[in-house]
Structure 1
Amino acid sequence: MSNDNCINGLIEWKRHMEGVKAELVEEMSCHLKDLLDKAVAEAIRSNKRDQASVLSSKKDHVNNNKRHQGSISEKQKVFMHRASLLKLFLDLDLLFYTFGQLSTVVWSWLCLFMYTLLVPYRALHVLGSMYSESSHPLLLSGLVGGQLLVCQISVLGVLPIYVVTQYKLPPASSFIVILEQVRFLMKSYSFLRECTPLVLRKEKLWTCFFPPISQRYKANAKHSFCLFRTPCIKWNFVAKNFAQFLGCLFFGYYLLFTLCIPVFTNMSKQPFSTKTLVLSIFHATLPGTFVLLLSFFAFLHCWLNAFAEMLRFADRMFYKDWWNSTSFSNYYRTWNVVVHDWLYYYVYRDLLSLCKQWYRAGVMLTVFLISASVHEYVFTLSLRYFYPVMFCFFAIFGVLFNFMINDKRKSPVWNVMVWTFLFIGQGIQLCLYCQEWYAHIHCPLTEKTFWGLVTPRSWSCRS
């Protein structure tokens, strides 16, 4: 009996499940049908929208073409009050700042000029008049030479440094004073170097003012000296050279004002990276090269030619064709003939004679070190910070290039190499000096120490 009940229960459960199954299938089919209907309806609406957009775009295109064709015939020039996109406005306040305190520059220059004009000559004149009659000529020479050395150190050595630092001259004014200091030192040294042996040999002092001449003209030195003078002064030539000098000055200022100041003003406020440094160097290559060319043309051509014309000095070989140099050794000889000749005659030859023609490489290295030290001295005092970029370029890279790219290089390819290195070097120098200048402005020293003064501020300044 119990088995029959179990069988009947299973049969009823089976029928119940089949009914549930049928209901589920019916509901699922209804849901699927609704979903399919909705999908088909959405597809139909989307197709209609696409067709409508295509038709509207075609209509818009046609309308635009019609409107454009109409605007070409109806278009007219409209005038209004507006400025040009490229504004060549130049603020001269920075230029006036860099050349500030000109009165201080003038009186300090007059002191240096009058001293160099009078004192060395007077000292040799006294020595020459008393040397032949003195019972102790060596003692006399030591006394006169010692007094002259004290005067040289006081006037040509200490005075310009005192003026620049005490009066806090701006950069351009400082450059004028320091460069004139170096020039007067070179002039006084060359005068003493040439004339002292004449005095010791009891010759007349005035003979050292005239160029070396042959035996034929020794009786008429004045006539020989006139051969080196122009017959008259061409004042229009003087005015033209001064005008070109001023033009170069303003153009160089414009380059720095527009291409360098906007880039380097806020550079110390950015995080340092090699990419930023390389990009800034390439950015400074063009203005750096222009500054090099403008400095050469303004000073070595315009300025020196103007004064040579006013002084009627006929030998105008202040430079040679350095732009055709295929070696750096030739470039150093031809870039500035005046300084090169002074270094050659009064440093290189004298040191070589002391070494009895030995150690030529060492003597040449000494000349490079002297030149590099003087250049760095000028930049340090004028810019008020020690950053030996110029010294490294002269004393390290200059020496290497002088021996590596020497006079044996004759191919025009080496001329391209010389110009390439000049471009890169000028970019590096301008970039580093500008960075250091603005680093000193943005990150002043709280406590002045020796290492703080000699350590480049741009390495750590991130204001």
Structure 2
Amino acid sequence: MVSEIANVLENSDDLERQLRHLFNKNSNDEIQDKVHTKKGHLPDKVFMARNSFLTDLLEINHIQTIYHIFIALLFGLFVNSTTYDMIHTGQTKMGFDLIIRGFANIHILLFMWICMFFTSCFIYVMFHIWASLIMQLHPQSFYIKLWNKICLGLYLMHVATFVYLFTYNLVIYKLTAVESVAILCEIMRIVMKTHAFVRTNVPIVLQYKPHTEADAPIPEFSKFLYFLFIPTLIYKNSYPRTKSIRWGYVCKCFIEVFGCIVYISFVTERFLIQEFREFGLKSFGWKEIILIILGNGLAGILVLLNTFYAVLHSWMNGFAEMLRFGDRMFYKDWWTSTTYSRYYRTWNVIVHDWLYTYIYKDMYENVVPGNKLIAKLTVFFVSAVVHEYILGFTFRFCFPILFIEFFGIGVAISFLKSGHKVIGNAAVWYGLGLGMGIGISAYALEYYARLNCPVEDSGLAAYFIPRSIFC
């Protein structure tokens, strides 16, 4: 008995040491992520070799058990739902049919992605031509100013044309919602990547002095190509690299991605489609709609957690491992946030770093020097517009719920602080559930309202006028 107690205490001490080491290692991430390089300027992003937060946590047996329990719960939910469907309808609805219909035009999706990839490489060609001529002209020459303006105009025209053409094509080819969101996210990823490359390298070329420096500051195409695929939106000429590729770990990551997709499809079919598919065909009262929205908070949290794990953990780690990209801090411990301001900084570190570096930092240092409020509002506005653009063309209608949640409610609650950790963390989680419930319910209502209540007018006004209010 004494030996058993000693073993328990020893294991408890070991767990405590592991947790303390892990949290001490990550507690200063927000300081280590960025360092000051110039006096009077905001700190810059710094890359270092490190694992994702959950990768370290899941090495602890006790935490890994929670992961196993979550898998068992999902399996139990599938079994219960399948049994219910077989008894009542004689067929199963596990979400696979929704996935198959969602990727019905995958050949068009892949073709458009290949076209986007080769089009994005044109940015490097444009940059190389601009930089080569810049270094041959006199710094004070009239022609260099004219050349800069011409190239800036061509760059802006390229970005606008790129976004317009591929958005137009996904509408013309009538891609499904799943395919549309994949294309739209890829459009924004490439735009953010190319802007990061141009924004980082243009000042270096402009400061180049041909008589004092040996090598021209034009990155090789291989560096641009590597940057296009690695899971970061901040351009550097070099990144921390791992020594080898663990192909077993890569397979595990993409199996997890597929599992999360199946589960999201299952939740969508079971909780969302089931609730709203008859909206517009039968009467729905406001009380009934409110109860459905509040009840969808749990479904919203499930979608949120699965999307987070699939994209920001499994997908990013899989690509990082294949490309030997060392910095795996794609997110931080956002689930412990006691304020929304911290949640925004830690939920998606990849996008947050881009917004901080190329929007917030540029606004604060160059556009409105020293004004953090305007810089912050600009970041929220850009984020809200991009999210609304993605959802608007995914569902083919404008229903600015997400814009209001981001730029209205999101800005307001970012200033709120809680002096109590338990209350603050609980409030963040409740807000996430309520926000997701409102968001997915509102878009589902509008989607089925337009599907079940078609109108003859298909002009621009029909895109903006909500059908669910009048249906």
Which TM-score applies when normalising by structure 1?
0.74
Contact 1:99 1:171 in 2 (8 A): no
Which residue is 1:401 aligned to? 413
Contact 1:288 1:430 in 2 (8 A): yes
| Cα offset, 1:115, TM superposition | 2.2
Assess, with a 3 A threshold, how the Cα gap between structure 1 residues 132 and 92 changes in structure 2: closer, same or farther. closer
Note the residue ranges of structure 2 that are not aligned, 5 or more in a row.
1-81, 87-91, 209-215, 225-235
Take 1:412 and 1:404, find their aligned partners in 2: how far apart are those partners? 15
Candidates 186, 205, 210, aligned match of 1:199: 205
Which residue is 2:37 aligned to? none
Q: Does 1:235 align with 2:239?
A: no
Q: Partner amino acid for 2:435?
A: G
Assess, with a 3 A threshold, how the Cα gap between structure 1 residues 276 and 314 changes in structure 2: closer, same or farther. same
Q: Does 1:282 align with 2:286?
A: no
Contact 2:399 2:464 in 1 (8 A): yes
Q: Partner amino acid for 2:145?
A: L
Q: Does 1:109 align with 2:113?
A: yes
Candidates 338, 342, 348, aligned match of 1:336: 348
Contact 2:355 2:379 in 1 (8 A): yes
Contact 1:99 1:173 in 2 (8 A): yes
**Stretch deviating more after TM superposition (322-331 or 125-134):** 125-134
Contact 1:241 1:302 in 2 (8 A): yes
Which residue is 1:434 aligned to? 444
Q: Does 1:326 align with 2:338?
A: yes
Q: How does 1:306-385 map to 2 (within 5 A)?
A: 306-385=318-397
Take 2:284 and 2:83, find their aligned partners in 1: how far apart are those partners? 36
Q: Which has the higher helix share?
A: 1
Q: Does 1:137 align with 2:147?
A: no
| Cα offset, 1:353, TM superposition | 1.2
Which residue is 1:168 aligned to? 174
Q: Partner amino acid for 2:124?
A: Y
Which residue is 2:229 aligned to? none
Q: Does 1:124 align with 2:134?
A: no
CA deviations 1:133-190 (Å, max 9, x no partner) are 2252111222233333333322x22221121111011100001111000000000000
CA RMSD of aligned residues (A): 2.2
Which residue is 1:456 aligned to? 466
Take 2:357 and 2:84, find their aligned partners in 1: how far apart are those partners? 55
Candidates 279, 288, 297, aligned match of 2:309: 297
| Cα offset, 1:250, TM superposition | 0.3
Query: Aligned with 1:199: secondary structure?
Result: helix
Take 2:83 and 2:133, find their aligned partners in 1: how far apart are those partners? 75
Take 1:91 and 1:190, find their aligned partners in 2: how far apart are those partners? 38
Q: Partner amino acid for 2:448?
A: Y
| Cα offset, 1:263, TM superposition | 1.2
Contact 2:95 2:262 in 1 (8 A): no
| Cα offset, 1:84, TM superposition | 4.8
Assess, with a 3 A threshold, how the Cα gap between structure 1 residues 113 and 85 changes in structure 2: closer, same or farther. closer
Give me the identity figure in percent. Answer: 35
CA deviations 1:21-56 (Å, max 9, x no partner) are xxxxxxxxxxxxxxxxxxxxxxxxxxxxxxxxxxxx
Q: Does 1:157 align with 2:167?
A: no
Which residue is 1:37 aligned to? none
